[in-house]
Chains A and B, each alone.
Chain A
C-alpha cells in the first residue's frame, strides 16, 4: 500500500455556525384615518426608505395606469416640477407604480428630510390636481411606453401567459391598450383619486436611520389629515389552472423562443408553502437547480432560466421562464417537462435538499441586510397581511421541512400534468417540434 498523500486536493472549508435571524427594531401604529404605519430601524446609512401600499384592486386598467403616471403631476401647492425640486432638496424622490393589487408610492431620501418628504407625500395624497396639460403629455408618454413594452418578447410572453392563466379574472390583462389610455381625461383621474386613494387599508412603511416611534409620530403629524373612505374592492380568488394544449404564440423571425410554464402554488401562510419553496428551488428557483444545470450548464440552450413562486392578493402561482434558441425550442421544453416530472415522481436527495434549504435561509438574511431590501420586504408582507415576524416563522418552517414534505409538495404542485405552457416564438420554425411532444394551439399575439 502506498503512503502517498493527495497533495493536490484541498478540502472545502466548513461553514461557521449559522447566525440567528435577528429582526430589526420596529414599531407600528394605525392612525385615526385607518392608515397603518410601520417603521423599521436600520441605521447603517443616514437615509430613509418609504413605501406606501394602497389597495387598488378592480380599478379600470387604463385609468389606474394613468393615475399612477400622473399622481405626481402637481398639487394645489406645487407644480410637478416644483414638487420634484422640493423633494430633491432633501435628497428625496417619489415614484408611483401600479399592479392589479395595489397603487404604490416609493422613494428614498436623506433621513434629515423625512418630515419634509412626508409633508410632500401628504400634499400629493390630499391635493393632487391632475392638470390638463400634464395629463396630456403623460398620456402620450404612457402610450409610447406601452408600445415599447409590446415590442419586447418578455412582455408579449407574459401577456399571453396571464391571459391563458386567468381567463376572465381581473389579473388576466394587466396592460391597457393605447386607445383606452388616450380616452382618460383629467376629471376621470380626479374622480378615481377621490374614490380610491384612501388611507383605510393602506400601509406606509418607513425604514432607515430612524427611531421607529419617532418616525411613527412624524407620519402621524403629516398624514392624519389624509381622509376618505370607500368600499374596499375585493378581488375574486384567482381561478385554478386549467391544463391544456401548449399555447404557441407566433412571433415571426424571433431568434429565440420564450418558454413560460405556470404551475399551481399556495400563499405564504399555507402549511405547504415552505416545502413548495424548497421544491421550486430544486427545480429551477436558483442557479444550482436541476433545470439550470440541465438546460444551461449541460445543454447550452439558454442563458438565464429561472422559476419563481409569485404571490398576489387573489392567489399564488409558480412561473418558470426561459428564453431558448429557436432551433432547440422543443428539446428545451422536453428537458423542462422531464425535470418537473422527475421531481414530482421521485424524492430529492437529502444533500440536494440541504443545499436548497441553506440557500433559502441565507438569502432571507441577505434580503434584510439593506434599508431598501427591508422596506420592500416589509411592504410586500404588509400588503398581504403579514409582518416581519413572519420571517422567523417561515425560517423555522424551512428548517423543519423533510425530504418527504418536499417530495409531497413537488408531487402536488410541480407535476407536469398540471402545467399551463405558453411558447412565444417563430411558429413556422418551432411548431412541428413542439407538436411532437404535446398537443399545441397556435395564436397570433
Chain B
C-alpha cells in the first residue's frame, strides 16, 4: 500500500491582545460553539523562584490565593464559582502559577470579579496559613509519601540533573520548610511576584469581545499597578559527564528508571526545540513507536514506557533549562543498565539510519490529533494562550502548533536523536523495595 500522508488540519481560534494601564496583559479568544467560558490568570512565578529555606512555597502560596481576598471571606471563592455552575482550580509549575475557572458563559463578570479581587490582595492570616500547611502536607502524602513511585521522576530527577537551588530543589517542599512559612513570607511573595505587570489574564469561549473588554477594564482597571520583578537567570551548563543515582522506594513493587537530556531553549530557540518534541513521540507513542517495539515487545525488558518534554510534561509552557525525559517500569528483577544501554543503541540507530518510510508522517498526524484535542476544552485554550502570551508574547501559536510539528523533518529528528548521548544524560533508578 502506498504511504498515505494525512493532511494536518489547523484551528483558527481568533486572538485579541491588549494591555491595561496597570500592565496586566489580556488575551481574548472567542468561540461560540458551546455556551461556556474559560478564565485563566497566570502569574510569572513558579517553583524556580521560591527562596532557599522555603521549598514548596510557591505551591503553598497558590493555596493561600483561595483563602479569601479583599471583598471575599474564606470559602467564598469556591462557593461563588460553583454556585455559578462552574469549576475551578490552580496549579504551580516551574515557571508559572495559574488560577482558572470553567463556567457557563452567563458567569463571565462574576469570574472576572473573583480574579480581580484576589489580584488586589488575598487575605493572608495565620489561621488560614496553618490550615493550608496541613492540607498541603496531606496532598504530599497522597501524591508522594503514601504511594509507590511518588514524585518519580518529576521530583527525584531534577536534583540529579541540576546543581543550582532553583532547578534542583523539591517543588512540593519539605515539611520543615512548609511549617516554617510565615504570613510575612506570604505578604512579601505576593508583593513581589503577584504584580499586575507580572500577570496575564485570558478569557476563552462564548464571549463578545467588546463586552468582555469593557468588563475586564471595569474589574481589573483599578488593580494597583506594580511592575514585573526582574526574572533571575536560571541557566545552567549542560552535563559533560553522565550522572546516575538510585534510591529505594519501599512501596514500589517493580524497578523503574528515568533518564533526561537537556534540550534547546524552548522560547529563544523554538525551531531547534521542536524536533525534540517530535522525537519523544517517535520513540514512545504507541505500539508502533521505536522504543515500545524494541523494549516492550522484542526484548521484554520494560513493562511500560513514556517519553515527553519537560519535568512536568509541559512541552510548550516551560522555559530553559528543561529536558527530554524517558521513563520506564521494568519487570521484577529487570536490569536497568541493560535498558539504558538499549535506549542508547536505539538512539544511535535512529541517528545513523534515520526514520523509516512514513514513520515521521504518522507520528506527526497523531501529534496533531493530541494538540487539536487539547484545544477543544474551553479552559485548555485560556490556559494555553495565557502561558504562550506570558512566555512568548504569542498566544496565537496555539493555532500553529499542529502545522509546525508537521513541518519538522526527518533530518531534524535524526539530528536531535544524535545529541542524546550517554555522557549528557542524567538518570535515576528506583529500586523496588516493595517487591514480593
Contact = CB atoms under 8 A, between A and B. Distances in A.
Interface of A: 8-10, 12-19, 22, 42-47, 72, 80-85, 87-93, 108-110, 112-113, 134, 137, 140-141, 144-145, 147-148, 150-154, 254-256, 286-288, 293, 296-304, 323-325, 354-355, 358-363, 365-366, 368-372
Contacts of A15: 84, 106-107, 110
A293 B297 CA distance: 49
A47 B9 CA distance: 9
A134 B292 CA distance: 13
A127 B35 CA distance: 43
Contact of B36 (A12, A113, A354, A366): A366
Contacts of B141: 255-256, 303, 323, 325
Interface residues of B, number: 88
Contacts of B358: 85, 89
B134 interface: yes
Given A10-B113, A369-B378, A355 B365 contact: no
Given A10-B70, A88-B286, A358-B83, 5 more contacts: A147-B253, A293-B75, A303-B142, A361-B85, A370-B34
B227 interface: no
Nearest to A360: B85
A81 B297 CA distance: 10
Interface string B130-165: 111111111101100111100000000000000000
Interface in B229-261: 251-254
Nearest to B140: A303
A13 B303 CA distance: 53
A66 to B, nearest CB: 15
B174 interface: no
Given A110-B368, A151-B253, A365 B142 contact: no
Nearest to A44: B33
A354 B110 CA distance: 17
A134 B106 CA distance: 53
Interface stretch (B18-26, B97-105, B181-189): B97-105
A110 B206 CA distance: 25
Of B82, B145, B254, most buried by chain A (CB within 10 Å of CB) is: B82
Contacts of B312: none
B253 A150 contact: yes
Nearest to A324: B138
B113 A140 contact: no
B79 interface: yes
Contacts of A299: 134
B376 A256 contact: no
B373 A85 contact: no
B134 to A, nearest CB: 3
A216 B332 CA distance: 47
B79 A152 contact: no
Contacts of A154: 147
Given A112-B7, A323-B141, A369-B36, A144 B300 contact: no
Contacts of A369: 34-36, 377-378
A141 to B, nearest CB: 5
B171 to A, nearest CB: 16
A72 B75 contact: no
Contacts of A88: 285-286, 288, 362-363, 365-366
Given A80-B287, A113-B6, A151-B253, A13 B102 contact: no
B79 A255 contact: no
Contact of B138 (A72, A153, A302, A368): A302
B369 A72 contact: no
Given A44-B33, A110-B369, A141-B303, A288 B82 contact: yes
A303 B365 CA distance: 39
A80 B3 CA distance: 18
Contacts of B91: none
B361 interface: yes
Given A112-B6, A256-B141, A363-B85, A43 B146 contact: no
Contacts of B331: 140, 144
A293 B79 CA distance: 10
B297 A137 contact: yes
Contacts of A298: 131
B130 A300 contact: yes
A286 B82 contact: yes
Contact of B369 (A108, A324, A325): A108
A287 B288 contact: no
B139 A303 contact: yes
A372 B6 contact: no
5 A-B pairs with the lowest CB-CB distances in the bound complex, closest first: A362-B85, A300-B134, A16-B106, A84-B287, A369-B34
